[in-house]
Amino acid sequence: MDGMKKIQAIQANIERVIKGKAQAIELTVVSLLARGHLLIEDVPGVGKTTLAHSLARSLDCSFKRIQFTSDLLPSDILGVSIFHQQKQAFEFRPGPIFANVVLADEINRTTPKTQSCLLEAMNDAQVSVDSQTRILPQPFMVIATQNPVEYHGTFPLPESQLDRFLMRIRIGYPDSSEEKKVLERPKFLHPADELQPVVSVQEVLDLQNEVEKVRLDDSLMDYLLAIVSETRRSDLLALGVSTRGAMALHKAAKALALVRGRDYCLPDDLKDLAPVVLSHRVMLSASQGSRGPRFDEAEQVIQDIVVTCSRVAHTGKRGGRQGCPLCSRTAHSGFISSGPRRMECSVDARSEGQPSRPPLRK
């Protein structure tokens, strides 16, 4: 199978279990291919753990679930050295973090001390125990869940921990027709247990390497940086997007382009991903009310910033730039991508009721 068929096979396999949630599945696959980690914040019972389990089953890789509680210790996750009587030496017993896909269920119910033990694993794909650094298996992905409704007995994730997640998504309730299919499914086994692997671990690594080959034009890079810079200037935000956040959006856009069957990025890739990649990395200002995890409002602020930056890029009224760097029409300055395709600005074309033209070929 070529890369696109492999990606479609993964999505189709997960859709056999997660009904009617194509967007959530697409974003999960994007996180995997971008070598990122995923935070799913949603109410109980909508399939958060099932999504993680289905992904692992589709990839023919190891899967571990960690139920985070207030008495969980870092050694329960990373592993511990035990003295071996016969060998007269300490022997390391790896913890559940040594898996390809790790589900951190209800991650905000454990203490900050235990939460912090994931930082090195998520950032460097390694853990340090007993003065030794141990490399985690590849591919490595943490899928964490938390409940946005009930906060009693929880420890909210700090900004440094949230910044390690590539994106934060919701699954949401299915519609009636899809929920009926779930109810008619046999109840005697876990729905993900019937899934068979569709790609190997090596094929996943190859797809992750393909993401690096996707092209993102300099003009789109300027568009990305304009969005990030605007979050730092906005009066609505007390904390803007960090450089790590800009890198995350850059890599996620490339992965989304590959998932959608392209070897080049479009403005829509950045616009579609900006709310889910950046909203958990910012902090609303005090003028917007009490400080707290109000991700709905943060997503709306990011969405408004994306629209503002799109209009500025199209009109060219900021920073002395003339013409639209995202438009291929001759009336504007435009740009040509690094490949044989000419791109255009699809922002104002839709807002003005005009159809967005596909990329042109020579």
Contact 328, 360 (CB under 8 A): yes
- Whether residues 203 and 220 share a domain: the answer is no
- Whether residues 158 and 246 share a domain: the answer is no
- Whether residues 180 and 254 share a domain: the answer is no
Residue 106 in any domain: the answer is: yes
| Alpha-helix residue ranges (DSSP H) falling in the chain | 3-15, 22-33, 48-59, 74-78, 112-116, 118-124, 159-162, 176-183, 201-211, 218-233, 243-259, 267-278, 295-315, 347-351
Position 151 confidence tier, pLDDT thresholds 50, 70, 90: low
- Whether residues 144 and 250 share a domain: the answer is no
For residue 318, pLDDT over 80 is answered with no
- Whether residues 143 and 244 share a domain: the answer is no
Domain of 342, in residue numbers: 214-361
Number of domains within the chain = 2
Q: What is the pLDDT of residue 288?
A: 58
Residue 93 in any domain: the answer is: no
Residue 82 in any domain: the answer is: no
Q: What is the mean pLDDT of residues 168-195?
A: 80
Position 264 confidence tier, pLDDT thresholds 50, 70, 90: very high
- Whether residues 206 and 263 share a domain: the answer is no
Pseudo-torsion of CA 13, 18, 19, 21, nearest 10°?
A: -100
Cβ-based neighbour number of residue 308 at 10 Å: 15
Domain boundary residue, one of 193, 210, 227:
210
Residue 131 in any domain: the answer is: no
Q: For 322-359, how does the pLDDT look when each residue is reduced to its tens digit (9 = 90+)?
A: 344 444 333 333 333 333 333 344 444 444 444 444 44
- Whether residues 204 and 323 share a domain: the answer is no
CATH number, domain with residue 12: 3.40.50.300
Largest CA distance in the chain: 81
Residues constituting the chain: 362
Relative orientation angle of helices 267-278 and 295-315, to the nearest 10 degrees: 150
For residue 294, pLDDT over 80 is answered with no
Q: Is 90 helix (H, G, I), strand (E, B) or coil?
A: strand
| DSSP β-bridge partners for residue 126 | 135
Distance CA 17, CA 37 (A): 21
Q: For 29-47, how does the pLDDT look when each residue is reduced to its tens digit (9 = 90+)?
A: 999 999 999 999 988 888 8
Residue 77 in any domain: the answer is: no
Contact 50, 83 (CB under 8 A): no
Contact 11, 29 (CB under 8 A): yes
Residue 85 in any domain: the answer is: no
Q: What is the pLDDT of residue 153?
A: 73
Residue 232 in any domain: the answer is: yes
Distance CA 327, CA 314 (A): 7
Q: For 44-84, how does the pLDDT look when each residue is reduced to its tens digit (9 = 90+)?
A: 888 888 899 999 999 988 999 999 999 999 999 999 989 88
Domain boundary residue, one of 157, 190, 210:
210
Pairing of strands 341-342, 101-105: unpaired
Among 8, 49, 50, CA closest to 29: 8
- Whether residues 205 and 222 share a domain: the answer is no
Q: For 78-115, how does the pLDDT look when each residue is reduced to its tens digit (9 = 90+)?
A: 999 898 888 888 888 999 999 999 999 999 999 999 99
- Whether residues 256 and 330 share a domain: the answer is yes
Domain boundary residue, one of 165, 182, 210:
210
- Whether residues 239 and 270 share a domain: the answer is yes
Amino acid at 284: L
Tokens of 291: 């400080």
Distance CA 63, CA 23 (A): 23
Q: What secondary structure letter does DSSP report for 236?
A: T
- Whether residues 111 and 219 share a domain: the answer is no
- Whether residues 171 and 259 share a domain: the answer is no
Q: What is the pLDDT of residue 357?
A: 40
